[in-house]
Structure 1
Amino acid sequence: MTTMEERPLLLVIATGMQVYREYLFRSISTRFRIHLFHVAEPTWERQYLSGWTVVPSTLDGPAMARAVRALDGVGGVLCWDEGRIHAASYVAEALGLRNGDPAVVWRLRDKAQTRAALDAAGVPQPRSVPVRTLEQALAAAERVGYPAVLKPRGLGASLGVVKVRDAADLRDRFAFTRDTKAPDPVVYAGDEPVLVEQCVTGEEISVDSVVQDGKVIPLFVARKVVGYPPYAEEIGHYVDAADPLLTDPDLLQTLQDTHAALGFQDGWTHSEFMLTGTGPQVIEVNGRLGGDMIPYLGMLATGVDPGLAAAAAACGLPPEVTAGRAEVTGIRFFYVAEDDTVIGSAAFEESSLPARIEQTTVVVTPGAVVSPPPKGTVWGRVAFAIAGGGSIEECRAALDAAGDALRLTPLQAAGPAVSPAPDDTPVTPR
């Protein structure tokens, strides 16, 4: 039996929200020692850690690279926070570890650089033009054609993404995309914060993959559900362990070509594609584990542990990627109906939940002020439910029932407590 001292030492940069990321710490701590770099003393994380360092900022890669010199025996660096993966790459570079090339990680963070690299390699993707002003956006839209998609250059979770029908629509919505901010500042060379992109249609999916020495191994395909058009709020996902896309030659080749074009050699990626009538087209690539509990859905569906696989890849160890079961899982996020709703109470009525529901989680507390998209986006979610079953249809029915079982009492609101679920279909323009 491996003793605690013999386990590889993994440095984790930041944590993320407990409800969305604790499962990773729980798994990783069973086989790795975890040292955490964070801006505050750990709380819920402490039970999973062998040590921690409080640093002034987890966005300052060079400073963390200097701080890591005080640690001995670090075998890998792992970060799953989109705003911090670039900073984490400086730490890995300082230690001579995998995924330690800040230029490569920045190429993924900066979607304009992603587009340029894929275009040079001939990888299929929507046409895309980075712009700074409304006038530039109008000219770019004439080039890519209407309808077009406005997208922030470096945000995640579909923040700020909106489809525009024509020039008048673009004029109305350009400021929404330009002014959408993440909690962490992002600065780009050239100061062109918005991408104007061709609107390609089909079914949108994501693929979580482990990558070692340039070889891409797809583990989970998630069928994305997007609501609140013309915005692109991700309201749910479905993962099928037996998804035929996991062996689809066109998708697998595009996935491999994408990583080669971007120069990504080691680590974990969350890649998004639109399955069009002419084949898969790359929407974006993130150099981290997927959000929205997608890797957790994958673990429930396949038995492959994403935390352990990602930790192994970071340390240059062979990840365990053989599926041990074959099920279908799904998640749905719930929102209030009105902007600036003050939450009184929120809970699921347990007696009304079907057996297929694996988990329900309320993510708001009494007194919280939340809004639906587009104002609320990810932070407007009040709860989520996870279901398992033999098919997407079974999961969808269970999640419908979970929505009916959610009891939300607002302290102030102008309308119904919970908005009805948008059309639950994985086909969306983007």
Structure 2
Amino acid sequence: MSPDDRPVLLVLGSGKREFREYLLRSLARHYRVHLFASGGASWEHEYVTGVTGFASMFDLPPMVEAARALAAREPVAGVMTWDEARTPQTAELARELGLVGDPVAIGRCRDKHQTRLALDAAGVAQPRSQRVDSLEQAAEVARRFGYPVILKPSDLALGAGVIKVETADELPAAWEFTSGQRYLGRPEWRPVVLLEEYADGEEISVDAVSYRGELTPLCVGRKETGHPPYCIEVGHFVHGDDPLMHDPEILDLLRGAHTALGFTDGVTHTEVKLSSRGARIIEVNGRLGGGMIPYLGLRATGVDVGLAAAAAATGRAPDVVPDRKLVAAVRFFYPEHNDTRIESIRFDTAGLPAAIDLTALLAEPGDVRSAPPAGTVNGRIAYATAVAQTARECRDALDAAAAALRVNR
């Protein structure tokens, strides 16, 4: 396919280069990418054929006008995003252009309270959940559910504001933590708080593509968390031959959840607890995974989740055939203390094992970063990925990367 024959793909938001460049690189080989971005673009220019900047990506009418103008100049094949906050606008723009996208289904995914209501009505296995509007109401519901419980905002991502509460004595401080979350760029925003039954067991994520209602898992991420009682993601492992990709209970759970939400076309990132009472849906997100999970899936299986999402967005059958069975992993690094001013930061790469795939610095000299919970995603100062035949090789390599990270403060 010559460059001029590539279909036009409208992408909303790009994210940090260290986390999302691989997606734009893949898309650019197959699509002419037009980017809608807050303010404009910088590093993205290498991969896109056009950019439209906006003062606010939450103000839909200017984006609708710009999308219509773009479509009037040349046919737009699809609209997609990997930014959780942009999923509603993406679906609305797709509908405006007569393309694949369902704002109702995306709305059910975006709002975790609506997710819970839809899954409950369909009888899909999940923890009990209730919206709580005050500490007093939270205390009453927690007594009914039984401790431990989880408090979480209904429409944030990446573990922000999520906390495990072991006892009634811990609830007031936990309530202040979750209800006090704020959304940068939207000063008027206040969280809707959910109190949920705690589900024990390992937490996994499944990135899957749905094409005309047929759901196909693409990769399973085995999540590693730290900094309790806060549910902070510190790493992920993706196995190219993970048996959960074909587990009947997991497949039935995923299909039931997507049917309940009315999600028929696109990529989803579903989080599941493998609890002692059976698998339970934690949440369903109407976009591909964060935390480098799609990249790990690509390295472990050969399946490109970003291209699968683009195919679904443009109404085409995605390529979902794996060509390898490796293990890929990522680990995120944080400062030891709050309000750490970074003087210098680097990886001493000499002698790192061959399994180390990428090392990335997320902080620069002069930056001030904090450990969780004050710093969640924004507290990360670096990450490393590893690819090998076994999880043990990956873990040992990531341990070596941790030892090679040099931070002066």
TM-score, normalization: structure 2? Answer: 0.97
Q: Are 1:108 and 2:106 an aligned pair?
A: no
Q: Where does 1:181-220 land on structure 2 (aligned, <5 Å)?
A: 181-185=182-186, 193-220=192-219
Return the letter of the residue paired with 2:53. Answer: V
- Determine if contact 1:104/1:263 at 8 Å carries over to the other structure: yes
Q: Deviations over 1:69-89 (max 9, x none)?
A: 101200100111111111111
CA distance, structure 2, for counterparts of residue 196 and residue 185 of structure 1? 24
CA distance, structure 1, for counterparts of residue 112 and residue 156 of structure 2? 9
User: Secondary structure of the equivalent of 1:71?
Assistant: helix
CA distance, structure 2, for counterparts of residue 312 and residue 79 of structure 1? 13
Q: Are 1:117 and 2:98 an aligned pair?
A: no
User: Secondary structure of the equivalent of 1:160?
Assistant: coil
CA distance, structure 2, for counterparts of residue 376 and residue 256 of structure 1? 35
Shift of 1:192: 6.9
CA distance, structure 2, for counterparts of residue 171 and residue 392 of structure 1? 40
- 1:106 to 1:77, Cα distance in 2 relative to 1, 3 A: same
- Determine if contact 1:207/1:221 at 8 Å carries over to the other structure: yes
Return the letter of the residue paired with 1:66. Answer: E
Shift of 1:184: 4.8
CA distance, structure 1, for counterparts of residue 61 and residue 113 of structure 2? 24
User: Secondary structure of the equivalent of 1:318?
Assistant: coil
Worse-superposed segment, 237-246 or 153-162? 153-162
Aligned to 2:238: 239
Aligned to 1:76: 78
User: Secondary structure of the equivalent of 2:350?
Assistant: helix
CA distance, structure 1, for counterparts of residue 148 and residue 314 of structure 2? 44
Give percent identity, aligned residues only. Answer: 49
Aligned to 1:66: 65
- Determine if contact 1:61/1:89 at 8 Å carries over to the other structure: no
Shift of 1:187: 8.0
CA distance, structure 2, for counterparts of residue 362 and residue 102 of structure 1? 36
Tell me how many residue pairs correspond in the alignment. 406
Q: Are 1:44 and 2:55 an aligned pair?
A: no
CA distance, structure 1, for counterparts of residue 68 and residue 359 of structure 2? 42
CA distance, structure 1, for counterparts of residue 40 and residue 143 of structure 2? 51
User: Secondary structure of the equivalent of 2:345?
Assistant: strand
- Determine if contact 1:270/1:289 at 8 Å carries over to the other structure: yes
CA distance, structure 2, for counterparts of residue 55 and residue 335 of structure 1? 32
CA distance, structure 1, for counterparts of residue 44 and residue 390 of structure 2? 35
The alignment yields a C-alpha RMSD, in angstroms, of 1.4
Q: Deviations over 1:365-421 (max 9, x none)?
A: 0000000000011111110010111221221111111101111101xxxxxxxxxxx
CA distance, structure 2, for counterparts of residue 88 and residue 352 of structure 1? 45
User: Secondary structure of the equivalent of 2:309?
Assistant: helix
Aligned to 2:370: 371
Aligned to 2:132: 131
TM-score, normalization: structure 1? Answer: 0.92
Q: Are 1:92 and 2:94 an aligned pair?
A: yes
Aligned to 2:158: 157
Q: Deviations over 1:16-72 (max 9, x none)?
A: 111101100000000111011112232111111111222332222343122211012
User: Secondary structure of the equivalent of 1:209?
Assistant: strand
User: Secondary structure of the equivalent of 2:342?
Assistant: strand
Q: Which runs of 4+ in 1 moved over 6 A?
A: none
CA distance, structure 1, for counterparts of residue 62 and residue 6 of structure 2? 27
Unaligned runs of 5+ in 1: 411-430
- 1:30 to 1:192, Cα distance in 2 relative to 1, 3 A: closer
CA distance, structure 1, for counterparts of residue 257 and residue 67 of structure 2? 32
CA distance, structure 1, for counterparts of residue 107 and residue 62 of structure 2? 17
- 1:187 to 1:246, Cα distance in 2 relative to 1, 3 A: farther
